[in-house]
Structure 1
Amino acid sequence: MLKAVLVALAALYPLVLAFGQSWIAPRWMALGLAGVALLRCVLERGRGLSALWALGALALAAFAWAGNSVAPLKLYPILVNAVLLLVFGASLAHPPSVVERLARLQDPALPDAAIPYVRRVTEVWCVFFVLNGAISAATALWASDALWALYNGCIAYVAIGLLFGIEWCVRQRAMRRVSGV
């Protein structure tokens, strides 16, 4: 249950930050981010991805606390994209890829013919994380708080959903081709 709350907080982070900064000083919002990062790190036992993410979140929180500034807190979506890019990219260098691992959860007997496809999908996600992170950076540095919140709290999630949906449709066609149906 606690993990689900933390995931929800992470997803709602841009909206919480955008609306919360009207009532709460950035220093205290930074403390909230640090608390969530530490709690998640403890729950995940400080392993791999959660430790890397927590270190980045704690660094952003420390800068925000020190300067009582919201600017470092707006960099959080960039951190998330960077960590995901690192994980997906590393899986390309050290297979199986993330998408292959996910595909094998659904079909443990994934045919060898599907491996190039799932590798390509992992590459597409890497490109997505680069582009999404760049747009997140641009909104954090040059856009209004409202546009930053709109992109990072809504549009980015729609883009993720579209990529999932498009990939699902392409996969159905690719699997039909592989199976000869």
Structure 2
Amino acid sequence: MLAKRALSIVGGLAVIGWPFAVWLVISYAELHILLPILALCFVLRLCTLRGKTGALSRAFKGLAIAGAVLSVASIWMREAQLLLWYPVVVNGVMLALFGSSLFSSMSIVERLARLHEGNLPPAGVRYTRRVTQVWCVFFIINGSVSLFTCLAGNVHWWTLWNGMISYLLMGLLFACEWLIRIRVKRRYE
């Protein structure tokens, strides 16, 4: 249990630290030694997800595989610029996950809300569907900017956006949604 928890922490740190590690690898040729470590972090992340089911777990497994593949391809092709594409992949996978759930009986946000709240009133179902739509818009915008930073080839812009600004915007979106959710719940209670 302790080993699995440690692997989970390492995997999480790999995802958060990815932009900075990529910046180091691209900016300093002598740090290409980090590429196998990045690949290993994603393999460890994949190991922590073994046995977990559900759409979100499958998405996280796919992202861990994508991170490992980009790292190994960068080693093999001696082209660290490939690493820049990981945030684009993340946003694409998350958009597909959230967007496809809008065409099912339950959106992904509704599924997550039901884990915490149990049954939801019809207003709660409408609210979670709207939140899912907002996240889809976020992934489109964030993915587009990430794509632009890849194509621009400026590792400083890429690191600023993918290592800081996108995380701040994500946190802001979480915080705003949480505050709105409290107001919506009060109104219907």
TM-score normalised to structure 2 length: 0.83
Deviations 1:116-152 (A, max 9, x none): 1101101110111111111111112205211111111
Alignment-derived partner of residue 147 in structure 2? 137
Q: Unmatched 5+ residue regions in structure 1?
A: none
Secondary structure at the counterpart of residue 165 of structure 1: helix
* RMSD (Å), alpha carbons: 2.0
Contact 2:92 2:139 in 1 (8 A): yes
Equivalent position to 2:37, from 28, 32, 35: 32
Contact 1:57 1:79 in 2 (8 A): no
Alignment-derived partner of residue 160 in structure 1? 170
Change (3 A) 1:35 1:2: same
Deviations 1:2-53 (A, max 9, x none): 101210121111012212441312xx44433332222222222276223322
Alignment-derived partner of residue 182 in structure 2? 172
Contact 2:25 2:35 in 1 (8 A): no
Contact 2:88 2:147 in 1 (8 A): yes
Alignment-derived partner of residue 70 in structure 1? 80
* Structure 2 residue 114 is the aligned partner of structure 1 residue 109: no
What is the aligned-residue identity percentage? 37
Change (3 A) 1:8 1:59: closer
Equivalent position to 1:119, from 129, 152, 156: 129
Change (3 A) 1:30 1:79: farther
CA distance in 2, matches of 1:143, 1:83: 22
Equivalent position to 2:8, from 3, 9, 12: 3
Moved beyond 4 Å, runs of 4+: none
TM-score normalised to structure 1 length: 0.86
Contact 2:150 2:158 in 1 (8 A): yes
